[in-house]
Chains A and B, each alone.
Chain A
């Protein structure tokens, strides 16, 4: 519902804009052959934007969880490992990390890396520090009695986490995880600087040939808007589904 409404408002705004002489919607008018091919060109970036974001978030959630767990340990050295990782990684701007991974790392390792994987690594690395903090907060919010109950039915650490603590923690951090996914979709636009053919790169390339930045970047804005509205609808659906059997 809400997606349709927002898109409706956007459509009205563009239509109004179309009346003014500043707009030249013909570049993306699907009823003309060139407009249609321009539109297809722009949408062609969708695959990499999604593939980048989804791969990166899957990795960053996994790494984030693995980094969060030592942060919850009684052992101080383990907690420091967590602290060091989070502070270090969180301090590097994503754009800088992308450049470092793509141009810098091959010098260090002697291995060249594809644009796609450089993007995935940089995005995932940078996001993992935030995921780690989200997981730490979520796990810490679970009552101590849940651990005690799990221990009293002889569950070990891994089973306690897997069957008792994480299912409850993940329900609680779902809104925050949704935030990170939306953030990741947007940050994937930065990977355009190393030549990834995702949405933003496609738009940039079309602007260079068509000289209609206003229309093309407006389409770009709408593309991200649709993606992120879909993500938030998905997260809300998941929340409702999981909440139905959760206490409170």
Chain B
């Protein structure tokens, strides 16, 4: 850990989110340091996706506060834009733009919102396509790619915005088993390069390998938060023990 990691790059304090009557997040507080790799897990409906989505304003919190790299997240357009340019998002369903080629998927954001020229955007796009190891697919359309390739394109699309933080919302849950590792490998590489990242996943082998911090959520609350060694070997809460038992022994 380098010394600048002392100031959190993401500060979440007492965040609550309601969907109608249902409270999806209950007073959630979480600090993420620069360069830190956090894995969030928990049963479905525990609020883990909601939490990661509210970090770049895809869900708006009803109370509490979220600061990303010093920028207070509000529903104002400028705040959303600024926060989203700092935190890239990778979705479970990839959400590539089906009517655009891989290259155009990657350059749209940089050209329209970062104001880069065609050529600059293209160079960046090719750089990141190489990084996710599919530069040869740049002129194809998303439907011509496998699920694993599509998710790697989606990762490259986020990286083209040159964010400080990467958010992964169950990046491998929609993939066929044989494609999971090609996507996880890319994420591990990214983690090793020092990118700050938060990943919601059930891939515990991956979590053990990359996480600095494990977070377990249940019923909209953070129940357990500890380094991976402690988390996997000796979790404090019973709910977390139960959960780990269920997903590690099947």
Q: Which of B77, B143, B160 contacts A156 (CB 8 A)?
A: B77
Q: Bound state CA distance, A146 and B96, in angstroms?
A: 7
B24-43 toward A: CB 8 Å interface, digit per residue (1/0)?
00000000000000000000
Q: Bound state CA distance, A24 and B199, in angstroms?
A: 81
Interface size, chain A (Cβ < 8 Å) = 22
> Of the 9-residue stretches B9-17, B83-91, B226-234, B241-249, which lies at the interface with chain A?
B83-91
Residue of A nearest to B140 (CB): A245
A-B pairs, 9 with minimum CB distance: A153-B109, A154-B113, A149-B95, A247-B98, A145-B95, A247-B143, A152-B89, A159-B112, A154-B84
For A151, what are the chain B residues with a Cβ–Cβ distance below 8 Å? 57-58, 80, 84
Q: Is B206 an interface residue (CB 8 A)?
A: no
For B110, what are the chain A residues with a Cβ–Cβ distance below 8 Å? 153
Contact A168 B89 (CB under 8 A): no
Q: How large is the interface on B (under 10, 10 to 19, 20 to 34, 35 or more residues)?
A: 20 to 34
Q: Is A175 an interface residue (CB 8 A)?
A: no
Q: Bound state CA distance, A154 and B81, in angstroms?
A: 6
Known: A145-B91, A145-B93. A245 touches B99 (CB 8 A): yes
B67-119 contacts to A, CB under 8 A, are 77, 80-81, 84-85, 88-89, 91, 93, 95-99, 101, 108-110, 112-114
Q: Is A164 an interface residue (CB 8 A)?
A: yes
A143-169 toward B: CB 8 Å interface, digit per residue (1/0)?
101101111111110010001100110
Q: Which of B81, B91, B99, B112 contacts A148 (CB 8 A)?
A: B91
B193-212 toward A: CB 8 Å interface, digit per residue (1/0)?
00000000000000000000
B90 to chain A, nearest CB (A): 9
Contact A149 B99 (CB under 8 A): no
Residue of A nearest to B80 (CB): A151
For B77, what are the chain A residues with a Cβ–Cβ distance below 8 Å? 156
Q: Which of B57, B93, B141, B161 contacts A153 (CB 8 A)?
A: B161
For B95, what are the chain A residues with a Cβ–Cβ distance below 8 Å? 143, 145-146, 148-149
Contact A246 B97 (CB under 8 A): no
Q: Bound state CA distance, A148 and B167, in angstroms?
A: 13
Q: Is A186 an interface residue (CB 8 A)?
A: no
Contact B141 A155 (CB under 8 A): no
For A156, what are the chain B residues with a Cβ–Cβ distance below 8 Å? 77, 81, 113
Q: Which of A145, A153, A168, A171 has its CB near the most chain B CB atoms (within 10 A)?
A: A153
For A168, what are the chain B residues with a Cβ–Cβ distance below 8 Å? 97-99
Q: Bound state CA distance, A248 and B84, in angstroms?
A: 30
Contact A154 B109 (CB under 8 A): yes
A160 to chain B, nearest CB (A): 9
For B109, what are the chain A residues with a Cβ–Cβ distance below 8 Å? 153-155
A-B contact pairs, 17 of them (CB 8 A): A146-B95, A148-B89, A151-B58, A152-B88, A152-B158, A154-B84, A154-B113, A154-B114, A154-B161, A155-B108, A156-B113, A159-B112, A164-B97, A245-B101, A246-B99, A247-B99, A247-B141
Q: Bound state CA distance, A152 and B88, in angstroms?
A: 6
Q: Bound state CA distance, A101 and B234, in angstroms?
A: 80
Q: Is B142 an interface residue (CB 8 A)?
A: yes
Q: Bound state CA distance, A151 and B60, in angstroms?
A: 13
Known: A154-B161, A155-B112. A149 touches B81 (CB 8 A): no
Contact A152 B58 (CB under 8 A): yes
Q: Bound state CA distance, A13 and B4, in angstroms?
A: 87
Q: Which of B91, B113, B114, B160 contacts A149 (CB 8 A)?
A: B91
